Structures are given as C-alpha cells and as structure tokens.
Amino acid sequence: MAPSSSTAHHALAVHEVLTLMEADPDQGLSDQEAADRLHTFGPNTLPARTTTGPLVRLVRQVHHPLIYVLIVAGVITAALGEHVDSGVIFGVVVVNALIGFVQEAKAETALEGLRTMVRTQARVVRDGRPRSLSSDDLVPGDLVLLEAGDKVPADLRLIRTTDLRVDESALSGESVPAAKDGAALPEATTVVDRSNTAYSGTLVTTGGGAGIVVATGATTELGQIHRLVGAAQTLATPLTQKLAAFSKLLTVVILALAAVTFAVGLMRGQDATQTFTAAIALAVGAIPEGLPAAVTITLAIGVARMARQQAVIRRLPAAETLGSITVICTDKTGTLTENQMTVRTLWTPGELFQVSGTGYTPRGVITDPHGEAAALAEHPALRWSLLAGVACNDAALVEDDDRWSIVGDPTEAALLVVGAKAGLDAAEVAGLLPRVATTPFTSERQHMLTRHLLGAAGGPDATLLLVKGSVERLVAMCAAQMGRDGATRPLDREAALGAADHLAAQGLRVLATAVRPPGATHTYDAARPDDAPDGLVLTGLQAMLDPPRAGAAAAVAACHTAGVEVKMITGDHAATATAIADQVGLLDGHGPAPGTVLTGTDLASMSAADLPGAVARASVFARVSPEQKLRLVEALQAGGHVVAMTGDGVNDAPALRRANVGVAMGRTGTEVAKDAADMVLVDDDFATIEAAIEEGRGAFDNLTKFINWTLPTNLAEGLVILVAIVLGAALPILPTQILWINMTTAVLLGLMLAFEPKEDGIMTRPPRDPDQPLLTRALVERLLLVCTLLVAGSWWLFTWERAAGAGLAEARTAALNLFVVVEAFYLFHCRSLTLPVWRVRFFSNPWILVGIGLQSIGQLAITYVPAMNATFGTAPLGVDVWVRILVAGSIASLVVALHTGWQSRRART
Ligand SMILES: Nc1ncnc2c1ncn2[C@@H]1O[C@H](COP(=O)(O)OP(=O)(O)OP(=O)(O)O)[C@@H](O)[C@H]1O
C-alpha cells in the first residue's frame, strides 16, 4: 500500500479507493496500523517554507530606496579613492541588511510558531470509535468525519455525504461553496469531476460527511501549491505603509539637500572630492535607514508578548490595530461566562422545581414546590421535559475516577446531568427510544428535534418527537401544554413566556422542551426554520446557571477606563443577557445611554440610517443572528469606531473578516471562524482581549519611541555637515565620523527602545487615533529642538576646544563624543511617552544599559585606539574635555526635560 498523490482517486469508485488505501469505511484504521503509517508517511504537516533562500532574503533587505542611496554613495566614494568612507558606508549597508535579515527571520518564525499554538483538530474513526485528534497525526487510509465549520484536514475521497458544501476559495479562488457528493463517479469521457473529493485546507460551510484520507502533508493539493508559491505572511501594516511613503519623501528631500550642499561647496571653491564626500555623509547621516527593520522587530516582540497572554495574532497588522480599538463586541457564552452550565430551576405549567448539586457531577436532588424530593411518576410534565432534555441531545458525560467531564455542547451536558439526577440514564433512554432522525440545533433555527421509535410495538408512524430550544421558538411551535396531571391543554403563552422572563432575569439560560406523542402526522421540512410539526405539546422550561468568568468584570472595567466600549452580542434571551451584562459591569459603562438593550427583532426593523445611532447607544444585543453581526460591525464602523468582534461559528466569518480585528475562539471556535479571524483566543476568555489590547498599545508606543529618537538624531547628523559647508567653515565632525555615529548609534541605542516594557498608565489613556499623522506637532517641536541642540552643541565645543588651543583632530573628537553623549542622554527621554525622564524606572529595560555600555566601549576605542585614530581622523582626549562633554550633554538633557514639561503642561490645559 503506497498511495501516491498522483493517483487520481477522484476517478475511482469508493470500493476501489478502499482497496487501494487498505481502509475500512466503518471501523477506520486500527491504532497500530495508524502508528505504522505515521512512521512511513510522516506527519500531516506542510514543510517549512523554502521558497526564498537566505541569500535572496538578504538581498531583499537591500531593496529599499534609502539603501540604494547608500550603495551609490559607497561606489562613488570608492571610485574617488576615499576608501575609509566607502568602507564605512558599506559597513552601514551590511549591518542594516544583517539586522533586517535577522529580525525578519525572527518575526517570521514567531508568526510561524504561533500557528502551532492553534492546532486544527480532526475527527477520525479509529478502531471503530470516533475521536478527536490533532490533524498532524492523520495518515493515508484514515476515516475522517466532517461537519459544518471544519477545515478539511487532508485530501479526502468522500464516501458518505449529506448536503456537503465546501468553500474551496483557499485553493481555487472560487468563492461559491462547491457541492460535494461521495457517490459521484464521473464517466470516463466527461471532464474531470472532483466533486467526490474534499481538499485539505478547504472549509466545510454546510452539511457533513465522511471520507478516506488519500493524501497528507506535502502530497496534498494544498501542499503542492504551497511548494510553488509559499504561504507568504504579510509583514506590511498601516504604519509600515505610512513609513514607506514617508521615507520616499525623505529620500528625495535629503538628496536634494545633498545636491544643494555640493553645489554651494563648489561655488565656494572648495575641493570637489571633499565636498562630494561631505555631501554623501550628509545624505547617509540624515537617512533613518533603521526605521523599516525597527517597525518589524517591535511588532514581532509585541506579537510574542500577546502569545504569552494566550492571544495568537494571525495577521501582523492586527498587532498594530489592537492599540486603536474603540469598541469590543463580545459573545456572552464562554467568553464573558465560564460555559459551565448547571440546571438550577425547572418549570412545568403550574409547578416550579429547584435542583441541587454543582458542576457536571450527576448528584443532586430535584425538589418540588413543597421542598420535597420530586418523584417523576407524580409529575408527568417534568418527566417528559427531562426526557426531551436527555434524548434530544448529542452530548455525553464521562466519568474518570469520580471526576465528571463532558463531550459536546455544555448546554446539552447540563440537561444530561439534571436528567441523571432524576434517574434518567442517557444510555438506557437511547435503548428504550431509539433515535431515527435528527434536526440539529443551529442558532438560526433555535431548536433541536429528534424522532424516536416507540419500541418494537410501534408501527411505522409510531414515532415520538422530542424538541428542545429557545422559549420564543418553542412557544411559537406548540399549540398545547402538558398539565400537572399529564393531560394536554391549550397553551398558556403568557404564563410560559412570563416564567421564562422571570428565570432569565436571574441570569439563567432558559431552554424549553416539547413532545409530540405518536399518531399525529405532518411532514416537517427541517430546511425551513419557521416550519414546525403540528401536535407539539410544551412540557416545561429548564433554566441553567452559567456563572460569569472570574476575571470578566475586572477586564470590562479595565476596558472602560481605557476608553474602550464593550458590547455584548448574544443569541440568548434578552433578560438573561441583561442580567449577565449587569454582573460583569457592562451596564455601568459610559456612552450616551448605557444599559440599553436591543434585540435581533429591533435591529431587523431598523432603517440603515437609524442603525448607527441606535447601535452606538446600546450595550447589549440579544437574540441576534450571526448575519446581523455583520450589520452591527458595519454600523459601528460607520459611526467612526474601530471594532474588535468575537465569533465562533461558520456564519460569524463575514463579521470577523469585516471587523478591524476579528477574534475567534481557540477552544470552541470552528475552523472557519479561526480562518477568518485576525486573532485567536487560546483560552476563549474575554480578559485575554483586554490583555492583547494592552500589548498592542505597548508595541505601538515602542514604535513611536523609536521614531521620536531616530528622526531628530538622523536629521542632526546630516545638518551638522550641511551647516558647515553652507557657512564655509571647517567641519566640526568629519564625514567618516558622521558615518561612524550613524552606523553604531542606530543599532546600539535606538533599537533598544523596542524592548521597553509597557508603561503603567497605558490603559488609562483613550485609544490611539489610527488616522493620526506620523509627524505630530509635538514630534516636530522635539525634532527641531534636539536637532538644534546636537548641531549647536558640537559646533560650540569644537570652537571652544580650538580656541583653547586643541588641534583639529582633538577638537573634532570632542565634538563627535558630545554628539554621541547627547544622543545617549536623549535616549532616556524617549523611554516614556508620558513620564518625565527622572520618573522612568532606570533598570526596567536592561537592554538600554547594555547598548549604552557597548556604545561607550566603541567611543573609547575610536578616541584612544591608534589604528582607529588613523582611520577616523580622531585623537585622544584629556579628562577635562570629558568633563566639558558630560556637562554640555547634561545641559542639553535638561533643556529637553524643560521642553517636555512645558509640552505636558500645555497638553493638560
Ligand atoms: N443545543 C441546543 N439545543 C437546543 N436549544 C439550544 C441549544 N443551545 C442553545 N439553545 C437555545 O437557543 C438559544 C440561543 O443559543 P445560541 O447558542 O444561539 O446563543 P448563545 O450561545 O447563548 O449566545 P452567544 O454564544 O452568542 O453568547 C439559547 O438561549 C437556548 O435557549
């Protein structure tokens, strides 16, 4: 048995595929066989990307307008015989390319590594038992089960299908889901029909089925495409695009300035070669070539920090957008609540019962209104209600050493538990009432229905229908209710809805149950959500507690403080939603009318013009269908909001894609939702969104800090030369020395800001305006001030040293060192965007100190090592010069501090 990807499995009949793959259509493979095949074929994973070799990637680093300028400059200086200058310029190019290369590789491995945090699970039959496995462990011949929401885990030859539709856009670009049919066997003469094959990486949108794995890993269709193109992760973000445009403009301006400088120098009759080298040093110094790499590394560090908080970023731009989120639309069940359901109260027409016990352990007592244990024989409606809960159910309880856990939907598991407390065992019930048909629960349909045979005695129509679902839906489906004595009476809708409201107001999640005894006939069309079988009798309500998550209230409060609104969007009852919203503090949020609740029906009746206003006011949306989520996102965006939206189902995908940051649930979410999302919450917890927003703000802050540092220092490096040439004075710092400063400080000083920890008050500020320009007024002021200090300072010291009798080389070395000292002192001012320099915790970012240490060693070397003196035209300095340098550096630092103080006072008023 050696299935190859070239085998055209789709052209074979099912039995031929089964023989070829040595597979069993019912039992699946044995564990032993699967392990052997895993050994032979390897894991079902795509090989690491190999499309771009290291050399290509290194060369790609050079592909940047700013770097082109450097290369041309290096070549020309070499041609002019200025070998030191040319060497240093190429040094800058190489160091930058290496840093960019290493950082890009790091960012990509970080993103690649995140993928393994969100593993695709596959449902497989092995040894006759269905189980959930990581899709990595699939082998050829495995029997895989598919249902709506799954990502197809390998190439499958389908053997059974029910209304299976698969979205193949990931593979073919075709956006209309393709119908799949396991029985389809094309005529030999027809065009190749692949409708009996489901391809790895495609998404099941509706229906379900089963198929045999015919190809895994690199041999799948996806694997082959992957090999050809490589799944490129985009590293571009709105900010990098803004920066790219900015650097183009900057290049043009700097080149123009350099040309003017050269022309002025020539007109003044200065030496052409020297003027040219100076003009080049000006250009090289002024170009902030480290900027693109710094953006990538800062965001990549942010993404890694988010991953530690259980938030996996799937698309890098989201790391940046998170910092501007103004509203989070969140699910209730499982995100704000524990998704740990326990039935607490049961209602039947005329009676109310309480249930004791905790969690999923099926131990507890159902007590009647008199406080006595309720016997099912005396309460027929209760018995039928519990029976519907147990039989119309796809979940299971699992016991391991008296520890109870569940398989399937927690809501359904809670119904099994309360049934078991009353003595109804799910397996026994299934034996007595074999299930013959199922209409599964969907959020649109709002109910689940099962048809059961009434033992051997029943004829063909002797079937029983059991239904459970939302109260509104079941009350609409039923015409009768079961009384205390078991007799059927006309339905008292008011009473049932009133009881449900009463229970929901306590924060309980309410399900209604109904039965249709055998006899009545009505062909029920499950495809029509509003169709209902007649003769249904309402038997009761089951109300379950799903407590809010421990950290939810604190996280909601933190969002409010951070100026981020939180809105709950749920399929649940309005009263339940409101009660939970109240418990987690959603209703004491800000906004024009906090606490307003809108239902899906309200939304449906609202005009497009009214929607944005109404949506902005409400904080809870109940009984909302997934389709309406898309309208909500659009309405909020129309109102100027930057929206994060959570979702887990197939139908949530459009809203997740539309949201500025789509958030999928790692545990309970379907693969379709995860595929559409920008971020996946590994733990499904609302508090994780809040933590990710905090990290997003932190990452953006660090970027801003780097920009604040690099723009003024680079500009000054260029200006110091420009001013000298324009004034026709001696250069206070030589071009080679400027190139040295440029090469060392960007890496050893500036880049260290990427490692700054988050600032304390980060979640007490309002969200960042995504349209804020790169050059704010505050930054332009800083830029001018720091630039002036650097240029004037080095001029002043150079002139002072000359006047005090120092040689040219010594005076220049003093100016060069002052320049670096001012840059290093200024670095401390950039460590916080809000605090003055003396309030920043000195040791909170050790990298800054490491960088300054290394830079100091470099400065001592260039000042005292004879070989470096010869290369860079420097000379050793006396202690008194260092004192002047440090005093002047401190004064410059003080001026920046005064300006920052003045700026923040102005911002407050
Ligand atoms: N498995 C089920 N079978 C039958 N009815 C159900 C089932 N699960 C939920 N319901 C009913 O359908 C209603 C809507 O449930 P749905 O799953 O759409 O929303 P939700 O999980 O409460 O909300 P969300 O996850 O969006 O916060 C519930 O209030 C409940 O009455």
Q: How many CB atoms lie within 10 A of CB 773?
A: 10
Kindly give the distance from the C-alpha atom of residue 361 to the centroid of ligand 1, in angstroms, as a whole number: 22
- DSSP string spanning 836-855? -GGGS-TTS-HHHHHHHHHH
For residue 785, pLDDT beyond 90? yes
The Cα–Cα gap between 238 and 770 comes to 9
Task: Kindly give the residue spans of alpha helices, DSSP state H, lying in 728-845.
Answer: 735-748, 777-803, 808-829
Which residue's CA is the closest to the ligand 1 atom numbered 6? Answer: 469
CATH number reported for the structural domain that contains residue 676 in this entry: 3.40.50.1000
Confidence grade of residue 587 (pLDDT, cut at 50, 70, 90): confident
Structure tokens at 605: 């009746």
Residue 239, pLDDT score = 74
Confidence grade of residue 188 (pLDDT, cut at 50, 70, 90): very low
Mutate to test the pocket of ligand 1, among 446, 477, 621 (most ligand atoms within 8 A of CB): 446
Confidence grade of residue 897 (pLDDT, cut at 50, 70, 90): very high
446 and 357 part of one domain: yes
For residue 238, pLDDT beyond 80? no
The Cα–Cα gap between 469 and 517 comes to 18
The Cα–Cα gap between 413 and 896 comes to 64
Q: Which residues contact 342 (CB under 8 A, 6 or more apart)?
A: 355, 357, 358, 359, 360, 414, 417, 544, 545
Which residue's CA is the closest to the ligand 1 atom numbered 29? Answer: 572
Give the DSSP H/E element, type plus range, for residue 691.
Answer: helix 686-727
Kindly give the distance from the C-alpha atom of residue 571 to the centroid of ligand 1, in angstroms, as a whole number: 6
313-322, 424-433, 681-690, 802-811: lowest mean pLDDT where? 313-322
Q: Under a CB-based contact definition with an 8 Å cutoff, are residues 677 and 647 in contact?
A: yes
Confidence grade of residue 789 (pLDDT, cut at 50, 70, 90): very high
Bigger pLDDT: 372 vs 231: 372
Average pLDDT over residues 444-451: 90
Average pLDDT over residues 306-326: 86
Residue 211 vs residues 122, 138, 203, 218: alpha-carbon distances, Å: 12, 12, 14, 19
Q: How many CB atoms lie within 10 A of CB 459?
A: 8
ipTM of the assembly?
A: 0.97
Residue 517, pLDDT score = 78
Please identify, by atom number, the ligand 1 atom nearest to the C-alpha of residue 469. 5
- Closest-CA residue to 155 (of 293, 320, 22, 17): 17
Kindly give the distance from the C-alpha atom of residue 349 to the centroid of ligand 1, in angstroms, as a whole number: 22
Q: Under a CB-based contact definition with an 8 Å cutoff, are residues 44 and 137 in contact?
A: yes
Q: First-to-last CA distance in the chain?
A: 79
Which residue's CA is the closest to the ligand 1 atom numbered 24? Answer: 570
- For 347-384, b/e burial (b = at least 16 CB within 10 A) is bbbbbbbebebebbbbebebebeeeeebeeeebbbbbb
532 and 558 part of one domain: no
Residue 110, pLDDT score = 66
The Cα–Cα gap between 413 and 411 comes to 5
For residue 111, pLDDT beyond 70? no
732 and 865 part of one domain: yes
Convert 804-818 into a string of H (helix), E (strand) and C (coil).
Answer: CCCCHHHHHHHHHHH
Structure tokens at 333: 């069940």
Which residue's CA is the closest to the ligand 1 atom numbered 30? Answer: 470
Share of the chain above pLDDT 90, in %: 39
Residue 112, pLDDT score = 67
Confidence grade of residue 229 (pLDDT, cut at 50, 70, 90): very low
β-pairing, 203-215 with 509-516? unpaired
Mutate to test the pocket of ligand 1, among 329, 337, 407, 511 (most ligand atoms within 8 A of CB): 511
- DSSP string spanning 459-490? -TT-EEEEEEE-HHHHHHH-SEEE-TTS-EEE
Residue 441, domain member (yes or no): yes
What tens digit of pLDDT does each residue of 727-763 get?
888 889 988 898 889 888 988 898 899 889 998 889 9
Average pLDDT over residues 772-796: 90
Residue 98, domain member (yes or no): no
β-pairing, 596-599 with 618-622? parallel
Residue 665, domain member (yes or no): yes
Average pLDDT over residues 627-647: 90
470 and 392 part of one domain: yes
Bigger pLDDT: 233 vs 252: 252
Residue 128, domain member (yes or no): no
Structure tokens at 492: 């008292």
Please identify, by atom number, the ligand 1 atom nearest to the C-alpha of residue 446. 12
If phi over 0 gives left and psi between -120 and 50 gives alpha, with beta otherwise, what is residue 589? Answer: beta
- For 271-287, b/e burial (b = at least 16 CB within 10 A) is eeebbbbbbbbbbbbbb
State the burial class of residue 809 (Cβ atoms within 10 Å of its Cβ: 0-12, 13-18, 19+).
Answer: middle
Please identify, by atom number, the ligand 1 atom nearest to the C-alpha of residue 468. 4
Show the ligand 1 pocket: residues with CB < 6 angstroms. 331-333, 409, 411-412, 441, 443, 446-448, 468-470, 509-511, 570-573
Residue 455, pLDDT score = 61
Residue 660, domain member (yes or no): yes
58-62, 296-300, 624-628, 710-714: lowest mean pLDDT where? 58-62
Q: 684, 715, 749: which is the final residue of a domain?
A: 684
Confidence grade of residue 13 (pLDDT, cut at 50, 70, 90): confident
Q: How far is Cα of residue 253 from the mean position of the Cα atoms in its chain?
A: 38
Q: Under a CB-based contact definition with an 8 Å cutoff, are residues 781 and 903 in contact?
A: yes
Residue 114, pLDDT score = 65
711 and 826 part of one domain: yes
Please identify, by atom number, the ligand 1 atom nearest to the C-alpha of residue 409. 1
Residue 102, pLDDT score = 79
Residue 6, pLDDT score = 42
Please identify, by atom number, the ligand 1 atom nearest to the C-alpha of residue 576. 29
Bigger pLDDT: 610 vs 107: 610
The Cα–Cα gap between 257 and 237 comes to 30
Mutate to test the pocket of ligand 1, among 337, 443, 586, 670 (most ligand atoms within 8 A of CB): 443
CATH number reported for the structural domain that contains residue 797 in this entry: 1.20.1110.10
Active site (catalytic) residues: 331
Which residue's CA is the closest to the ligand 1 atom numbered 10? Answer: 469
How many structural domains compose the chain? 4
783 and 635 part of one domain: no
Average pLDDT over residues 179-184: 69
Residue 52, domain member (yes or no): no
Q: 485, 517, 545: which is the final residue of a domain?
A: 545
- Give the domain extent around 711: 242-297+701-908
Rounded to two decimals, the pTM is 0.78
Residue 592, pLDDT score = 47
C-alpha angle 47-49-53 in degrees, rounded to nearest 5: 135
Residues 445-448: contacts with CB under 8 Å, at least 24 apart: 445/469, 445/473, 445/529, 446/470, 446/472, 446/473, 446/529, 446/571, 447/473, 447/474, 447/477, 448/392
Structure tokens at 676: 């559409």
**Average model confidence (pLDDT) across the chain:** 85
Q: Under a CB-based contact definition with an 8 Å cutoff, are residues 158 and 196 in contact?
A: yes
What tens digit of pLDDT does each residue of 594-627 get?
568 899 999 999 888 888 888 988 999 999 988 8
The Cα–Cα gap between 246 and 66 comes to 11
Q: Under a CB-based contact definition with an 8 Å cutoff, are residues 349 and 513 in contact?
A: no
For residue 505, pLDDT beyond 80? yes
516 and 572 part of one domain: no
Confidence grade of residue 174 (pLDDT, cut at 50, 70, 90): low
Average pLDDT over residues 259-265: 88
Structure tokens at 5: 């990807």
For residue 834, pLDDT beyond 60? yes
323 and 210 part of one domain: no
CATH number reported for the structural domain that contains residue 184 in this entry: 2.70.150.10
Residue 761, domain member (yes or no): yes
Average pLDDT over residues 121-148: 88
- Closest-CA residue to 211 (of 241, 245, 264, 166): 166
Which residue's CA is the closest to the ligand 1 atom numbered 28? Answer: 572
Q: 501, 523, 545: which is the final residue of a domain?
A: 545
840 and 854 part of one domain: yes
For residue 402, pLDDT beyond 90? no
Average pLDDT over residues 761-781: 86
Bigger pLDDT: 870 vs 52: 870
Mutate to test the pocket of ligand 1, among 328, 439, 441 (most ligand atoms within 8 A of CB): 441
Kindly give the distance from the C-alpha atom of residue 179 to the centroid of ligand 1, in angstroms, as a whole number: 28
Average pLDDT over residues 634-654: 88
785 and 797 part of one domain: yes
CATH number reported for the structural domain that contains residue 512 in this entry: 3.40.1110.10
Please identify, by atom number, the ligand 1 atom nearest to the C-alpha of residue 510. 31
Helix (H, G, I), strand (E, B) or coil at 423: coil
For residue 590, pLDDT beyond 70? no
Kindly give the distance from the C-alpha atom of residue 157 to the centroid of ligand 1, in angstroms, as a whole number: 34
Give me the residue label for tokens 């109910």. 447
Kindly give the distance from the C-alpha atom of residue 80 to the centroid of ligand 1, in angstroms, as a whole number: 77
For residue 396, pLDDT beyond 70? yes
Kindly give the distance from the C-alpha atom of residue 447 to the centroid of ligand 1, in angstroms, as a whole number: 8
Confidence grade of residue 237 (pLDDT, cut at 50, 70, 90): low
Average pLDDT over residues 188-199: 62
Residue 503, pLDDT score = 95
Residue 62, domain member (yes or no): no
884 and 789 part of one domain: yes
Q: What is the largest CA-CA distance in the chain?
A: 118
- The answer to whether the Cα torsion of 600, 605, 610, 614 is positive or negative is negative
Q: Which residues contact 775 (CB under 8 A, 6 or more apart)?
A: 783
For residue 165, pLDDT beyond 90? no
- DSSP string spanning 291-316? HHHHHHHHHHHHHHHHHHTTEEESSH
Q: Strand locations in 327-470, DSSP E?
A: 327-330, 342-348, 351-355, 366-367, 396-400, 403-407, 435-439, 447-453, 463-469
For residue 662, pLDDT beyond 90? yes
Kindly give the distance from the C-alpha atom of residue 828 to the centroid of ligand 1, in angstroms, as a whole number: 54
574 and 673 part of one domain: yes
Give the DSSP H/E element, type plus range, for residue 147.
Answer: strand 143-147
335-339, 469-473, 542-546, 664-668: lowest mean pLDDT where? 664-668
Structure tokens at 308: 């530690």
Please identify, by atom number, the ligand 1 atom nearest to the C-alpha of residue 471. 31
